[in-house]
Structure formats: C-alpha cells, structure tokens
Amino acid sequence: MKLLFKKFILIILITGYFQKGNAQGFVPLFNEYLSENLYLIHPAMVGTNLKNIRLNFGSRQQWFNIPDAPGTDLLTLEYKATKNAILGLQLIKDHNGYHSKNSSYLTFGYRLYLNNEVWTTRRSFPTKNDNIKELSFGISVGSINYNLNQSSFDPRITDPLLNNNSSGTGYITLDAGAAYVSTHLSAQFSVKNITMNNSKTSMEDGNENFDSSRFKHYLASLQYEIYFDNGWNMEPSFLVQYLEKTNETSLDLNLKLYRLINKGRLWVGGSFRRNFLEIETSSAPNMPPQYYSHFTPVFGLNYNRYLFSYHYTSNLGTLNLGASGLHYFSIGISF
C-alpha cells in the first residue's frame, strides 16, 4: 500500500505540467467519456472497476495546420485508498489562441457494495460472469483560472488595456454526483460547476459581464450492457446535458460493440449528438432553423493493463464550421 501511495504522489508531481497552461470559457465536452473514462464527466464514477491506481491521458486537437488552433489536454488519476474510499485527480489544460484555461479537480468518492462483492480482478472491464452491484457518491473541488496572454502583442501599441503581459480571473468550484453501477445497467447524475465563491468583473456602469455562479452544468447518463455467448457484447447508452448559462440542452445517443480477445478486448462504436438550442440564420432568410449536431466514431483497445482509444468528431448540418473535425487520442494504464 505504501508503494502504491508513493506512485500516486509521484504521478501528481509529474503532472504539474498541466498547472502551467490555462483556456477560454467553459471547456466543451464532446465524447471523451466514451474512451472508457466516465470519471471525466461524473465525479461519482471515480475508481469504477479499479483495483489500485489508474492513469489516463487524453488530447483533443483541431485544425492541425493552423498555429494556436484550439486544443485540450486532459489527465485523470484514480487511487483506491480503501475498500470504499477512492481519491481522484483531474487536470484540464485548454487553449485557443491567446486565451487559455486551467482547471484542477480533487475528487473524493465513496462506494457501497450492494452485494458485498468487491472488484478484485486485474481486468479493467467487466464481463457477463461478474456480479457487480454498486452505489457510489462523488464530490470534486476544483480551481478554474482563465488567462489572456499578451506577451507577444506589439509593445508599440499604447492601448492601456495591453500594458500587462497577462491578465486573468478565476474561481473555486464544486462538482457532485451519484452513480449506480451493475453488470448490466448503470446510471449516473452529476451537477458540475457549483461555485463556492463568485468571481465577477463589472464595467464602470455597473453592468455585470461575468458571473461564475450561473455556469452550473447538469448531466444524466445511462448505459445497458447486452452480453452474448460468443465473446461479443453491446452497450447502448445516452447522455443528457443542460447548461444553465446558455439555457441549452443536448442529447448523445451512443452505441458500442465489444469483442473479447486474448488479454483484453477491442471496441468500436459511434455517437450522435444533437443540441436543442436554435441557431439564428437571419442572414439567410430562406434557410430553416439550424441546430448543432455531430457524429463521432470511436475505436479502442484494452490490452493487459493498458488502454488505447481514438475518436473523430465531424460536424453535421447545413452550417458547417470547417472541413476538419476534432481528433481525440487517449492512453491509459492501471498499476
């Protein structure tokens, strides 16, 4: 146990790299959670199917041929401290041109075993022979910092707003949720971005242009595992999100197919997202109302203690934001 704890601390020190980056606005969630890492969106899913320590790194990139294009790096670290208690660390480094955002979360999860069976296998995924029935709760305390880097701006510009090399604001936030996980049916609910102290900037006339207390993010998801006798299993699932600030709702419809192989399993699937916030098209009066939607094929592999996955998100609809989609790569290891 002491050796595992030392590894946990060592990895935290190594991942300090994330603390030097920072991104603009609320970091959008695409389909990164489909890389077998629901902890990215649900604090109560920290440590699911975990025996000791699990480290997961992901990178989302867009427009490879454009300098300072939007990109996001994500890292999660999970440590099973006791039979029921799990500790987690989540770091997000998001950047978009001169703007950046740095988010750090510490998570505490508590798991109740409804059938007194504790996960003991070295596998990181369940099979039809497992008898899982767990209820878990999670809470994450996070620090979110926004930054505008002005160091490369032309120093000859006399604009008083550009006198400093950087400017930014930040606040402390809280995520909380609950989850039920079983061999066949699993469900989760979370509330993210519950601010503990409001960070506001006001213009001279008193109008508020930033209020962190109105950024709460609600998520609910469900998965159902269907096992077959020939080594295949299928997992339909969905995710519903609601953003309080913009009053928008989105729905993900997902389907993944798994195939057991020697020392692991392969998976392939896809996700369709539809946002129900209407996009105005006043410049094109003959065009019907538009809603954001995208499709994401997913591929992955569990092999021994390792996990690899790749996603490609392509925007759908008449109004397209560009020919190039979003690439997401993920790699994980269990200690």
Return the minimum-mean-pLDDT range out of 21-35, 164-178, 211-225, 256-270: 21-35
* 3-state DSSP assignment of residue 147: strand
pLDDT one-digit tens code per residue, 144-193: 887 777 666 666 666 655 555 455 567 788 999 999 999 999 999 999 98
Q: Which of 23-37, 149-163, 209-223 has the highest mean pLDDT?
A: 209-223
pTM for the structure as a whole:
0.84
The answer to whether residue 296 scores a pLDDT higher than 60 is yes
Instruction: Render 256-299 in DSSP notation, one character per residue.
Output: EEEEEETTEEEEEEEEEEEEEEEEP-TTSTTSPPEEEEEEEEEE
* pLDDT confidence of residue 50: 93
pLDDT band at 197 (very low <50, low <70, confident <90, very high): low
Compute CA 214 distance to the chain's CA centroid, rounded to the nearest angstrom. 20
What is the reported pLDDT for 21?
36
Give the lowest-confidence range in 56-60, 198-202, 231-235, 241-245. 198-202
pLDDT grade, residue 66 (50/70/90)?
confident
Q: Which of 28-37, 40-49, 194-203, 255-264 has the lowest mean pLDDT?
A: 194-203
CATH class as words, domain 2-150+164-198+212-334: mainly beta
Q: Taking residues 123-136, what's their average pLDDT?
A: 91
Calculate Rg over the CA atoms of the chain: 21
Model pLDDT, residue 284: 59
Average pLDDT, integer, range 98-123:
90
Residue 283: beta bridge partners? none
Q: Which of 266-270, 278-282, 304-308 bottoms out in mean pLDDT, i.e. has the lowest?
A: 278-282
Within 10 Å of residue 250's Cβ, how many Cβ atoms?
A: 18
Task: Tell me which long-range contacts 74-78 makes (C-beta under 8 A, separation of at least 24).
Answer: 74/32, 74/40, 75/15, 75/18, 76/37, 76/39, 76/40, 77/8, 77/11, 77/12, 77/15, 77/53, 78/39, 78/46, 78/47, 78/50, 78/53, 78/54
Percent of the chain residues topping a pLDDT of 90: 52
- Which has more pLDDT, 282 or 1? 282
Integer Cα distance of 232 and 236 in angstroms = 14
Domain ranges (residues) in the chain: 2-150+164-198+212-334
User: Residue 153: its pLDDT value, please?
Assistant: 65
